[in-house]
Chains A and B, each alone.
Chain A
Amino acid sequence: AQSVAQPEDQVNVAEGNPLTVKCTYSVSGNPYLFWYVQYPNRGLQFLLKYITGDNLVKGSYGFEAEFNKSQTSFHLKKPSALVSDSALYFCAVSPKKGGSARQLTFGSGTQLTVLP
């Protein structure tokens, strides 16, 4: 069975500093990996994905994530945090079945707070 771990419930960072939100995963075979963001009272928004190719994936709003197969990690990063980045972030993994996945397993979420 696949699983996703987000070891930090809460991450606080000062505005302008780099941020990292951690994610590790467990899945059979090659994974599809995703990051989603949820702002208060809103649904999930797609940030970025890793399917194959370059280990460093660039996504929306200046976010990027690094896929590390040996460490089974997919940490979300941003060089300079903004107060508006404060939100709930979810990592997700999907299995690769015949080239197409059918469901996502989400991590427990990490609340990011960027302090002015």
Chain B
Amino acid sequence: SAVISQKPSRDICQRGTSLTIQCQVDSQVTMMFWYRQQPGQSLTLIATANQGSEATYESGFVIDKFPISRPNLTFSTLTVSNMSPEDSSIYLCSVEVAQYENGYTFGSGTRLTVV
């Protein structure tokens, strides 16, 4: 199955600043997914990132707040912009493994605390 490297693993940021999270996959994948896990909550899909096109955002998430880049088939970034304490969460990237051999593979997550 695919191996995902996600960084940073954690960060503490000041409100009003932005943080860019990177996700690197060891194989080419068509789609990459970004999730948010708020404290004590389940995972919520933020957006789907396709290479060469704009990301598709889920309800409640907008590009200005969470811009995504997908420059090639192995890499994506998610930026959390103009952060507030409510953005404190774990952010995870994920890829779909072909033919569901191992379902979806997730990165180890970025634990973000906004102060």
* Given A102-B31, A102-B48, A44:B42 Cβ within 8 A: no
Within the complex, which residue of B6, B42, B96, B111 is in contact with A109, where a contact is CB–CB below 8 Å? Answer: B42
Chain B residues with Cβ under 8 A from A44's Cβ? Answer: 43, 92, 106
With A90-B42, A102-B31 as known contacts, state yes or no: A43 contacts B100, CB within 8 Å: no
B41-A108 in contact (CB<8A):
yes
Known contacts being A90-B42, A90-B43, A106-B43, is A46 close to B103, with CB within 8 Å?
yes
Chain B residue contacts of A70, Cβ below 8 A: none
Tell me, yes or no, whether B69 is within 8 Å of chain A by CB. no
Known A43-B6, A44-B92, A49-B100: A103·B105 in contact at CB below 8 Å: no
Name the contact of A108 in the complex, choosing from B1, B42, B103 (C-beta under 8 A). B42
Min CB–CB distance B64 → chain A (angstroms) = 22
Contact between B48 and A46 (Cβ–Cβ < 8 Å)?
no
A41 interface residue (CB < 8 Å to B): yes
Cross-chain contact B48 with A49 (CB below 8 angstroms): no
Nearest first, the 7 closest Cβ-Cβ pairs linking A and B are A43-B108, A44-B106, A43-B109, A106-B42, A106-B43, A43-B106, A108-B42
Q: Which residues in A have some Cβ–Cβ distance to B below 8 Å?
A: 32, 34, 36, 41-46, 49, 51, 90, 100-104, 106-109
